[in-house]
Amino acid sequence: MIKAGIIGATGYAGGELVRLLLGHRNVSVKWLGSKSYIEKRYADVYRNLFTLVEDTCLDDNLAKLAEQVDVIFTATPQGYLASVLTEEIVSKVRIVDLSADFRLKDVSVYEAWYKIAHKSPQFIEEAVYGLCELNRERVRSARLVANPGCYTTCSILAAYPLVKEGLIDVDTLIFDAKSGTSGAGRGAKTPNLFCEVNENMKAYGVAEHRHTPEIEEQLSYAAGRELKISFTPHLAPMNRGILVTGYASLKQARQEDGSMALPSKKQIRAAYEKYYGNEAFIRLLDEGVWPETKWVEGSNYVDLNVKVDERVGRVVFMGALDNLVKGAAGQAVQNMNLMFGEEEAEGLKLVPLFP
């Protein structure tokens, strides 16, 4: 039985972690840490877990928690884990961090985008970026996994085959993304009040959203060179969900007869089948069917599809996922399963909710 602890257990991602781990056949949650709710019954914070969780919230003492468990999930604000992580801790316990502290390999990029000093850069190099479909084998042996962000998971997976196979001009990549309000966290913020969000759509973080360098870094690995993207997120009046629509100009590719031409829709589809055809949590939709957030709600699935716009020589690629599951807690559990030799889908065989 894997003994798990959660720091930041009362945020939305932390609450989702508890829900998912309760359904895992081989995990026992030993410790729920929450700086905001010390000594408060967890089921009084999340009443959906009444009679299911009897624990009381403890503090966020990482060193103490490391003595009691095999894996720690840190669903905490940026800067927390970097400020407390030590070699003694990572030598005792494996960590899946849901913040951005160890996602970016260049500490100067992290500090520029997150506006905080990184307190433990010595762990950045060994941290594994936990996008399971791309880094599965490296995750298995990792001590420290940097769980990807929600926008980034959807954006990277939606574009990856096109970039990796050299089918597009990567300098033309544009991402237009929408998120449900739970992506902003559980804290009280005026822009996220019901009256501010309901019956409204709005862009934010235009040309400066903090997930931008994360998408750029991972797709740069796929491209084999540094690239820059345009990324614009929007807040949508829904609880959960990420919908990404991306655009790029197609690049001429060699055809079977040796001539050069823009990739056909058959070639584009083949690229997605090559990378995702056997993936348990990526669903390639039928031709002409476009992803919808409702079809993945409450699940660990990512729905993808792509359209070649021959008229303008561009490709439109789309993805949808649940930001709290595959975009956060579900992916964290998927990473844990790989780290401990469990079936990758254990605890995550969730049928999407509808309606």
Which tens digit of pLDDT belongs to each residue from 275-318?
999 999 999 999 999 999 999 999 999 999 999 999 999 999 99
Question: Do 310 and 250 form a contact (C-beta atoms < 8 A)?
Answer: no
Count of residues making up the chain:
355
Q: What sign results for the dihedral spanned by CA atoms 275, 308, 154, 213?
A: positive
Whether 2-126 shares its CATH topology with 151-323 is answered: no
Catalytic residue among 57, 132, 150, 154: 150
Whole-number pLDDT of residue 33: 94
CA–CA–CA angle 210, 214, 219 (5° rounding) = 145
45-53 average pLDDT score? 96
SS3 327: helix
The CA distance from 350 to 150, in Å, is: 18
What is the DSSP pairing of strand 174-179 with strand 242-249?
A: antiparallel
Q: Which of 7-11, 130-134, 173-177, 195-199 has the lowest mean pLDDT?
A: 195-199
Residue type, 272: Y
The CA distance from 60 to 118, in Å, is: 19
150 given a catalytic annotation: yes
The CA distance from 94 to 155, in Å, is: 27
> What's the CATH number for 2-126?
3.40.50.720
The CA distance from 112 to 210, in Å, is: 10
How is the chain split into domains, by residue range?
2-126, 151-323
**151-323 is classed in which CATH architecture?**
2-Layer Sandwich (3.30)
- pLDDT for 101-123, tens place per residue? 999 999 999 999 999 999 999 99
- Distance, first Cα to last Cα, the chain: 35
In angstroms and rounded to an integer, the radius of gyration of the C-alpha atoms of the chain is 20
Q: Which percentage of the chain shows pLDDT scores above 70?
A: 100
15-29 average pLDDT score? 97
11-16 average pLDDT score? 97
Residue 259: band (very low, low, confident or very high) from pLDDT cuts 50, 70, 90: confident
Whether the full predicted model's pTM is greater than 0.75, yes or no, is yes
Whole-number pLDDT of residue 17: 98
In which order are the strands placed within the sheet that holds 71-74? Answer: 27-33, 2-7, 71-74, 94-97, 144-146, 128-129
Token pair recorded at residue 327: 């975009």
